[in-house]
Amino acid sequence: MLGVYAPGHDVARLAYFGLYALQHRGQESAGIATCEGGHITTMRDSGLVSQVFDEEKLKALEGDMAIGHVRYSTTGGGSWENAQPVWRDDGRELALAHNGNLTNAVELWNELKAEGIAFRGTSDSEIIAALLSSSDGKYIEDVVADVMPRLEGAYSTVAMTKHAIVAFRDPHGVRPLSLGRLGERFVVASESCAFDIIGAELMREVHPGEMVSLTERGLETRQVVRAGSPAHCVFEHIYFSRPDSRLEGKVLQQVRGKMGEILWREAPVEADLVISVPDSGNPAAAGFARASGLPRDDGLIKNRYVARTFIQPGQELRKRGLRLKFNPLPEIVSGQRIVVVDDSIVRGNTTRQIVGMLRDAGAREVHLRISAPPIRNPCHYGVDMSTREEMIAHNRTIEEIADELGADSLAYLSMEGVYEAVGTPPEDHCDACFTGRYPLGDPEEANGKFALEQIAVPAK
Ligand code: SF4
């Protein structure tokens, strides 16, 4: 997700390349909206950024400002109607992109329906857009200030009207949102790697409960809602954000390397070789090798052109995607006692197949070292981790998980180890998928992924 206010620049091209850098955050659909002479144009479609846009489409997207989005679904399915940016005109024309998950989506949807507001899709993002678009108020900044207290859950959001781009973050700052400078102009994005690719410079993160507004007057900020206790997603540090992004003052490549070092300290093992599950396990594997003094090599080669399996929705697609993804190298692993370092295990399908492939390639022993604790709880704040029952760590001990995966040994990094590497206080984070402690209230009350489909299309 990003926003660029930059009159005089080719804003569509800036948005395109920014989204290109953020592709890992969602691969179901991509979209860009621009505003030219008071007219908002939105283009969005299913697929990767490079599949959705070509030179001709970018040329048609003229303007002084742009917002963009790559989607993977948390509330609402992956259908075209749910692609973003969402465009609405219920009195105020706007386009909007959102990262997160509203926990009161059903309640708000019902309220808006009762007011006669119709929806095209079934995403919680369209609810935010409808609230902003239908509310009275001359300035979008005031409207955001009215609407934000009605939203519950995780929402890093960027909206564009004919006059401004506004970006705002929920009072707990669950999902990331950063502010950057592009010469005399300003940009916002989910991650700082989007700034690097377009030559912008990271200024800081948007504060929890803060709104930044990018207009011809430059940058204005307002603390709209009093910040609650911070609940920054710790999984962004472990896996989700790109390793060259900066979060809470640190580049994630180094944070993840430190996780690998601590993992060795906590769970050493007698072995001959360290390999990573590429690409997401690379930094932790490097740290593990560094701390252990063991040699490291690439025992698994990844097909770079296969999308990350984690973000493809649906069990069957995940399994099918996987077989295309990794190829073990018998020349590297045969006869060796291998340590395989990965960042996390959710369902375990990927890991089980990797262990099997390495054994087939001749590995003598396979020891799994994971640079995060076991994931045992679903995320209600914007990461699709599926249900508790599908998680391999659900109701299993570490030994049982190791058996299930076919590994000779398995160890996870402790929560304390994660925070030692992250370097900011544990109480400033959400770690609910690991600990079951949900910082924004009772998770059972939260809506499931298809909650809005169930209301919009009553079950037969
Ligand atoms: S539950 Fe996990 S993935 Fe979801 S916001 Fe919390 S730490 Fe992040």
Please choose from 233, 376, 380, 386 the residue to mutate so as to test ligand 1's pocket, defined by most ligand atoms within 8 A of CB.
Answer: 233
Give residue 233 CA to ligand 1 midpoint distance, Å.
5
Please choose from 99, 430, 437, 449 the residue to mutate so as to test ligand 1's pocket, defined by most ligand atoms within 8 A of CB.
Answer: 430
pLDDT higher than threshold 80 for residue 449 = no
pLDDT higher than threshold 90 for residue 315 = no
**In this predicted structure, what is the pLDDT of residue 444?**
61
**In this predicted structure, what is the pLDDT of residue 305?**
72
Give residue ranges with CB within 6 A of ligand 1. 174, 233-235, 379, 381, 383, 430-433
Measured on CA atoms in the order 383, 389, 392, 395, is the torsion positive or negative?
A: positive
Give residue 39 CA to ligand 1 midpoint distance, Å.
37
Please choose from 381, 418, 442 the residue to mutate so as to test ligand 1's pocket, defined by most ligand atoms within 8 A of CB.
Answer: 381
- Cβ atoms of residues 378 and 443 within 8 Å: yes
Give residue 368 CA to ligand 1 midpoint distance, Å.
23
> Mutual orientation of helices 349-360 and 398-405 as an angle, nearest 10°?
50
User: Which atom of ligand 1 is least distant from the CA of 439?
Assistant: 6
Residues composing the chain: 460
Characterize the bridge pairing of strands 232-233 and 429-430.
parallel
- Cβ atoms of residues 358 and 336 within 8 Å: no
Segment 431-440 shows an average pLDDT of 96
Q: What is the pLDDT of residues 257-308, one digit of tens each?
A: 999 999 999 999 999 999 999 999 999 999 999 999 999 999 999 987 765 5
User: Which atom of ligand 1 is least distant from the CA of 234?
Assistant: 7
Give residue 234 CA to ligand 1 midpoint distance, Å.
6
Residues 106 and 119: their CA atoms lie apart, in Å, by 13
Q: Note the helical H segments in 347-450.
A: 349-360, 398-405, 415-422, 432-435
User: Which atom of ligand 1 is least distant from the CA of 378?
Assistant: 1
3-class DSSP state for residue 45? Answer: strand
**Which of 234, 241, 233, 209 is closest to 223 using CA atoms?**
209
Give residue 374 CA to ligand 1 midpoint distance, Å.
13
Q: Alpha carbon of 200 to those of 1, 248, 298, 426, 442: distances in Å?
A: 15, 18, 34, 31, 39
pLDDT higher than threshold 70 for residue 448 = no
Give residue 331 CA to ligand 1 midpoint distance, Å.
39
Please choose from 433, 437, 440, 449 the residue to mutate so as to test ligand 1's pocket, defined by most ligand atoms within 8 A of CB.
Answer: 433
At residue 386 the predicted structure's pLDDT band, cuts being 50, 70 and 90, is: confident
- Cβ atoms of residues 124 and 175 within 8 Å: no
User: Closest residue (by CA) to atom 8 of ligand 1?
Assistant: 233
**Which of 74, 85, 22 is closest to 48 using CA atoms?**
22
Query: What residues contact residue 305 under an 8 Å CB cut-off, 6+ apart?
Result: none
Cis peptide upstream of residue 85 (ω within 30 degrees of 0): yes
Q: Structure tokens of 399?
A: 């030994």
Give residue 435 CA to ligand 1 midpoint distance, Å.
10
pLDDT higher than threshold 80 for residue 200 = yes
User: Which atom of ligand 1 is least distant from the CA of 175?
Assistant: 5
Give residue 88 CA to ligand 1 midpoint distance, Å.
30
**In this predicted structure, what is the pLDDT of residue 307?**
58
Q: Note the helical H segments in 381-435.
A: 398-405, 415-422, 432-435
- Cβ atoms of residues 102 and 61 within 8 Å: no
Please give the helix or strand (H or E) that residue 52 lies within, else none: helix 49-52
**In this predicted structure, what is the pLDDT of residue 219?**
98
Q: What is the pLDDT of residues 412-428, one digit of tens each?
A: 999 999 999 999 999 99
Q: What is the pLDDT of residues 207-242, one digit of tens each?
A: 999 999 999 999 999 999 998 899 999 999 999 999
- Look up tokens 């093992």; give the residue: 269
Give residue 422 CA to ligand 1 midpoint distance, Å.
15
**Which of 373, 398, 112, 88 is closest to 235 using CA atoms?**
373
Q: What is the pLDDT of residues 330-344, one digit of tens each?
A: 999 999 999 999 999
At residue 458 the predicted structure's pLDDT band, cuts being 50, 70 and 90, is: very low
Give residue 185 CA to ligand 1 midpoint distance, Å.
32
Full set of structural domains in the chain with CATH? 2-231 (3.60.20.10), 252-424 (3.40.50.2020)
Measured on CA atoms in the order 382, 387, 393, 395, is the torsion positive or negative?
A: positive
Letter for the amino acid at 218? Answer: G
Give residue 384 CA to ligand 1 midpoint distance, Å.
10
Looking at residue 167, the DSSP 8-state letter turns out to be: E
Backbone angles phi, psi at 181, to 5 degrees: -120, 135
Please give the helix or strand (H or E) that residue 259 lies within, else none: helix 252-266
Query: Cα(first)–Cα(last) distance of the chain, in Å?
Result: 36
- Cβ atoms of residues 13 and 67 within 8 Å: no
User: Closest residue (by CA) to atom 2 of ligand 1?
Assistant: 433
Looking at residue 392, the DSSP 8-state letter turns out to be: T
- Cβ atoms of residues 190 and 176 within 8 Å: yes
pLDDT higher than threshold 80 for residue 81 = no
**In this predicted structure, what is the pLDDT of residue 459?**
35
Looking at residue 237, the DSSP 8-state letter turns out to be: I
User: Closest residue (by CA) to atom 5 of ligand 1?
Assistant: 233
